Amino acid sequence: GNRYFLMVPQPELSKKGITWENYSSESSDKIQKIDFESVYVATEGVSTAAIINQKLADGKSVVFSPGIYKINEPIIVSNSNTVLLGLGMASVMPAEDAPYMDSLIFVKDGLEGVRISALLLEAGPAGTHSLLKWGTRKGAVSTNSGFMHDIFCRVGGDRDASLPEARTNNMVEINTDNVVGDNLWLWRADHEAPRNGSVKDSRNKVWNAMAVNGDNVIMYGLFAEHVLHDQVVWSGENGKTFFFQCELPYDVTQQNFGEPGYGGYVIGPHVQKHAVHGAGVYCFFADYDVHAKSGFKAPEDRTAITTENIFCVFLNGRGGINHVLNDRGPGVSGERTGAPNFL
């Protein structure tokens, strides 16, 4: 009666709404109970990445108590069924003297049932390839998917133009098959502390918010904003997204964004099967006259690639988006501010 457990709901199929609230702690087939003897509780200023990695290698899950964890090496998930859980918006970011890192958090290949939840991952001036990198290749077991919940990524925003800019190549990279995401907000800053000033001229470099190379990846509630190339690039097969919200960058130019044809949601040219439901791409080109070619891009004439309720909106500023999907769907511009154009 006096013991604490980390309660991990098990995946379910073909359901609507929430069901976990009906499960008691005794429902062992629906809730996994992890005794806190098998959990390491990390503490800001005490728990280095090296300490956390040793605990993970020993088979423990990690709960991050509220704080900002400044690391000098990646946190590496090395065992299946590991949980990383943040409390109180626990944040992970590079230390000021950290070198370039491939990622802040890395999930090794071949793992099953990994859960990463409720963390804010922040880029630093030395740079990373990714903030969260899930594997390097395809091949996970489909019956025990990996999950990420309530993951927030930030590139810039905490430092004004007098300080070195933050940078990363992408925020989230998924190379493993069968990963599920629920509520991800991936944000390149459009304004910066301490005076809420606007970010200008492509400061805080990040090329993609999310890159998906694994198969059978599903996203529920994906938010991607302001990165300098395509916001989301999906190259894996049988991907699904349910609700996508995207705002294109404010501070790009026609030369570095419009002419290369960058957009909001891009399905790779070799993909045969994909589905996206309920997705919007918005533009507010604040500084320059930019005309994006389309909000969405996908291979044409593939019956297994489906879109439902996708649209573009002109919010404010200059320029616009010429089409919704490829060269189809009416464009948006200042003539219809705030009104969605659907395909």
Q: What is the 3-state secondary structure (H, E, C) of the chain?
A: CCCCEEEEECCCCCCCCCCHHHCCCCCCCCEEEEEHHHEEEECCCCCCHHHHHHHHHCCCEEEECCCEEEECCCEEECCCCCEEEECCCCEEEECCCCCCECCCEEECCCCCCCEEEEEEEECCCCCECCCEEECCCCCCCCCCCEEEEEEEEEECCCCCCCCCCCCCCEEEEECCCCEEEEEEEEEECCEECCCCEECCCCCCCCCEEEEECCCCCEEEEEEEECCCCCCEEECCCCEEEEEEEEECCCCCCHHHHHCCCCCCEEECCCCCCEEEEEEEEEEEECCCCCEECCCEECCCCCCCEEEEEEEEEEEEEECEECCCECCECCCEEHHHECCCEEC
- pLDDT for 160 equals 83
Give the per-residue pLDDT at 26: 62
pLDDT tens per residue across span 58-70: 999 999 999 999 9
**Prediction pTM value:** 0.96
Give the per-residue pLDDT at 299.
98
pLDDT band of 1, cuts 50, 70, 90 = low
* pLDDT on residue 17: 81
- What is the rounded average pLDDT for all residues in the chain? 94
Q: Give the tens place of pLDDT for each residue, 124-170.
A: 999 999 999 999 999 866 778 999 999 999 999 988 888 899 999 99
Mean of pLDDT values over 77-93: 97
- Considering the chain, what percentage of its residues have pLDDT values greater than 70? 97
